[in-house]
Amino acid sequence: MSQSGPPDEPSAAQETDEKTPELELLTLRDGLPDVVETDTQLAAVVHDLAGGTGPVAIDAERASGYRYSARAYLIQLRREGSTTWLVDPTAFDDLTPLQEVLSGDEWILHAASQDLPCLREVGLEPTALFDTELAARLLGYPRVGLASLVEQLCGLRMRKEHSAADWSKRPLPSSWLEYAALDVEVLVEIRDRLARELVESGKDAWAEQEFAHVMAQRPVPRTDPWRRTSGMHKARGRRAVAAVRELWLTRDELAARRDVTPGRIIPDSAIVVAASALPTERSALLGLKGFHGRGAERYADRWIAAILTARELPESELPPVALRADGPPPPRAWAERDPVAAARLTAARAALAALSEERSVPVENMLTPDVVRRVLWSPPDPRQPAELAEAVATQLRDHGARDWQVELVGPVLVDSILHPAPAPDLPPEPSPLTDDLPEAEAPGVG
């Protein structure tokens, strides 16, 4: 590579490296604690946390990608005046003493929606919450992962090499336990910094509403979860779709019984291959190109049985190729189906992008795109500004929008309804009916 300066002159990259040395690694202040596995140890945890003050930093480790269940296999806790504790929830039938000592305290979690379900499963439920990831989003931080926030706010770096580990493994290696403990090491400090910034920016009330919304959320079972099979659009016709369903349900039952993630038995791609070919013999199934997986041969008889069930269904019982959507059509179809609605959406997108830039909040946090589309596809009837504003606000709240979102985004939607853009020009968006969907996940896996 050529060099623009004299041989002994440092390059721009070298100068940058000299000015920004590698950040110091985050380490444990109190050393690595033992894993809490007995009632006596749990009593010590409760006593220690009771002597601490302020909010409690909490994290949980699951075994996503390894286990069917979304249960917590390790819970980490830390608060001021206390120390860090690592609790193995699988060792206890009841964590009521831990819930009681933490009841009424603010819990600090990063990306709380991921951990709250598995914490609830073991009887742990916050009465007050501070979500550091969500707070960072509201403040417009460009990177909101925990490691990024530790770097930006604490000037330290974290190792993340065990983020995809199988936390159901026992005993857990010391390096994994250290990684887990570090997740709560500076969470209190990050919370305090973000809380100050929320107050300074006038977004503290926004955050309080968002945190309350996260605590109130409960998982909603998906309709026909088997339809999320990746590549299912390649299965042509209703009978092939029925075979996808039967194979998916068979795999799901096996995965639940063995407590392994479904994709570790056979991948989605194998289901689609088998559903498209509809073989009736074991040898034909196993000879299909693309039918593979740890359980492909082991459960071959079960797969054949599922396929035969689909083949023998009467036409009247075959599932539709696709479900009728309960919302508006994909935006790429708006211009043809309803040009005025497309013009409303074009105006709103431009205005929301400008508002996002002005308030330093991602568009999707101001209001979910789905709610925006629902309101603009079928707006309220009133066209007097005051009446329309009230009707839009009601519609937004019916869709779960918080008060701060209604106040911030409501006027933008009202203006877009009253003054749609003259020339809609909507970029194409993926079709949920034709594009590949992500590999199906086990119910509740975070």
User: How far does Cα 134 stand from its chain's mean position?
Assistant: 12
Q: How many domains does the chain have?
A: 3
- The residues facing 61 across adjacent strands are 74
Which of 199, 216, 233 is where one domain is finished?
216
Q: Does the pLDDT at position 398 exceed 70?
A: yes
Domain end position, chosen among 166, 189, 216: 216
- 66 and 165: one domain? yes
Angle at 216 between CA 119 and CA 107, to 5 degrees: 50
Residue 279 has pLDDT above 60, yes or no: yes
* Nearest partner of 139 among 127, 151, 131, 147, judged by Cα: 131
Beta bridge partners of 75: 60, 87
Q: What is the CATH number of the domain that holds 391?
A: 1.10.150.80
Same domain assignment for residues 297 and 350:
no
Q: Same domain for 178 and 303?
A: no
Q: Over the chain, what is the mean pLDDT?
A: 91
Inter-CA distances, 293 with 263, 310, 318, Å: 8, 21, 27
Last residue of a domain, which of 259, 284, 317? Answer: 317
pLDDT at 10: 46
Same domain, 190 and 278: no
Map tokens 């708006």 to a residue.
334
Percentage of the chain exceeding pLDDT 90: 85
Please report whether residue 6 resides in a domain. no
Query: In terms of domains, do 261 and 135 share one?
Result: no
Confidence check: pLDDT of 164 > 90:
no
Give the helix ranges, DSSP H, for 145-224. Answer: 146-154, 174-182, 187-200, 204-216
SS3 content of the chain, % helix, strand, coil (to 5): 50, 5, 40
- Based on the fold, state whether residues 288 and 139 are members of the same structural domain: no
Q: Does residue 356 sit in the same domain as residue 293?
A: no
Whether residues 189 and 73 fall in one domain: yes
Look at the chain and count its residues. 446
Per-residue pLDDT band at 159 (split at 50, 70, 90): confident
Query: Both 99 and 169 in a single domain?
Result: yes
- One-letter amino acid of 313: L
Please check whether residue 345 lies inside any domain of the structure: yes
Domain co-membership, 208 together with 234: no
pLDDT of residue 327: 87
pLDDT, position 16: 40
Residues 423-441 have pLDDT tens digits of 545 555 554 434 443 433 3
DSSP per-residue string spanning 62-86:
--TTT-SS---SEEEEEEETS--EE
Q: Is the pLDDT of residue 193 over 80?
A: yes
Would you give the distance in Å from CA 36 to the centre of its chain?
A: 28
Contact between 36 and 86 under an 8 Å Cβ cutoff? The reply is yes
Give me the pLDDT at residue 376, please.
97
369 in a domain, yes or no?
yes
User: Could you read off the pLDDT of 223-266 as tens digits, one per residue?
Assistant: 999 999 999 999 999 999 999 999 999 999 999 999 999 999 99
140, two tokens: 């417009």
Prediction pTM value: 0.86
The confidence band for 163, taking pLDDT boundaries of 50, 70 and 90, is confident
pLDDT at 5: 39
- Tell me the percentage of the chain whose pLDDT exceeds 70: 90
Q: Is residue 208 located within the same domain as residue 230? A: no
In a domain, 76, yes or no: yes
Same domain, 246 and 385: no
pLDDT at 4: 39
Which residue in 47, 34, 38 sits closest to 100, CA to CA? 47
**131 lies in a domain?**
yes
**Residue 133: inside a domain, yes or no?**
yes
Residue 438 domain-assigned (yes or no): no
Instruction: Name, in order, each residue with C-beta under 8 angstroms of 70's C-beta and a sequence gap of 6 or more.
Output: 62, 64, 117, 118, 121, 442, 443, 444, 445, 446
Any alpha helices (H) in 278-402, and if so which ranges?
282-286, 300-312, 334-337, 339-359, 363-366, 369-377, 385-398
Q: Report the half-sphere exposure of 275 (CA within 13 A, side-chain side).
A: 30
Which amino acid is located at 28 in the chain? L
Dump pLDDT digits (tens) for 312-328. Answer: 999 999 999 988 878 89
Domain with 125 in it: 19-216
In a domain, 446, yes or no: no
Alpha helices, DSSP H, located in 88-173: 96-102, 112-121, 132-138, 146-154
CATH number at residue 66: 3.30.420.10
